[in-house]
Amino acid sequence: EVQLVESGGGLVQPGGSLRLSCAASGFTLSNYWMHWVRQAPGRGLVWVSRISSDGITAYADSVRGRFTISRDNAENTLYLQMNSLGAEDTAVYYCVRAEGGPNWFDPWGQGTLVTVSS
Amino acid sequence: IVMTQSPDSLAVSLGERATINCKSSQSVLSSSNNKNYLAWYQQKPGQPPKLLIYWASTRESGVPDRFSGSGSGTDFSLTIGSLQAEDVAVYYCQQYYSTPYTFGQGTKLEIK
């Protein structure tokens, strides 16, 4: 069964850092394009970042230079390193697989909540 | 690419048809493969989004056939043929034609 399990969320002060993890099972993560999508409380879905199967990364303008997406092939785990966090980064962060390249998002993890507050 | 859904909310009686529209600010139709890079997702409270439709009109495996997608280029629709109680959710369209992969603002579907 294909499964994505996020972890690492929590409460962090403004200006702080956090690293999210997404453990993949049932498939080889490095063979797929993987994404992070976030959803602020009561708001819509916003794409954050992507890493392609050949390791090319892309970021939303709002996080470029602050967030870094990476993966550990041996651990079959996706990461999102988040630095210089602000209140606007408060959201549930979802780890998502893209089917067969630059395609639709499926499946989605359950998400991990990041709260930036003093 | 900006994705704009209409309406923002919709109330439909059980058994009736519900239609949600999605418009992209530029075409998401690829000339290389003649496919529309457009997906629809359903999100119920407290749950992650679930894929319903991809390539604008291809139903994901296991999705009831009352869900259908249509459209091409910049104008798309998601139709629920006969609304069931379990269809109450927020629905999002998304383009995966180019980064950033943008979503519509969501349409909240309720029972009238």
> Which pairing describes strands A18-25 and A77-82: parallel, antiparallel, or unpaired?
antiparallel
The pLDDT tens digits of the residues spanning A7-55 come to: 999 999 999 999 999 999 999 999 999 999 999 999 999 999 999 999 9
B105 touches chain A (CB under 8 A): yes
pLDDT tens-digit map of A64-82: 999 999 999 999 999 999 9
**Band of pLDDT at residue A99, cut at 50, 70 and 90:** confident
Question: Looking at the predicted structure, is the pLDDT value of residue A100 above 80?
Answer: no
Size of interface A-B (CB pairs under 8 A): 57
pLDDT of residue B56: 98
- Please name the residue of chain B whose CA is at the shortest distance from the CA of residue A102: B96
CA distance B49 to chain A (A): 7
| Residue of A47, A109, A111 with shortest CB distance to B100 | A47
pLDDT of residue B18: 98
Q: How would you write the pLDDT of chain B (112 residues) with one tens digit per residue?
A: 999 999 999 999 999 999 999 999 999 999 999 999 999 999 999 999 999 999 999 999 999 999 999 999 999 999 999 999 999 999 999 999 999 999 999 999 999 9
Confidence band for A102, pLDDT divided at 50, 70 and 90? confident
d(CA B34, CA A55): 27
Chain A contact for B1, CB < 8 A?
A: no
Q: Do residues A38 and A48 make contact, with C-beta atoms less than 8 angstroms apart?
A: yes
A40 at interface of B, judged by CB pairs closer than 8 A: no
Rounded distance between C-alpha atoms, residue B18 and residue B40, angstroms: 14
Residues whose CB is less than 8 angstroms from the CB of residue B3 and which lie 6 or more positions away in sequence, other chains included:
B22, B23, B24, B25, B93, B94, B95, B102, B103, B104, B105
Chain B residues near residue A60 by CB distance under 8 angstroms: 100
For residue A56 the two structure tokens come to 């090319």
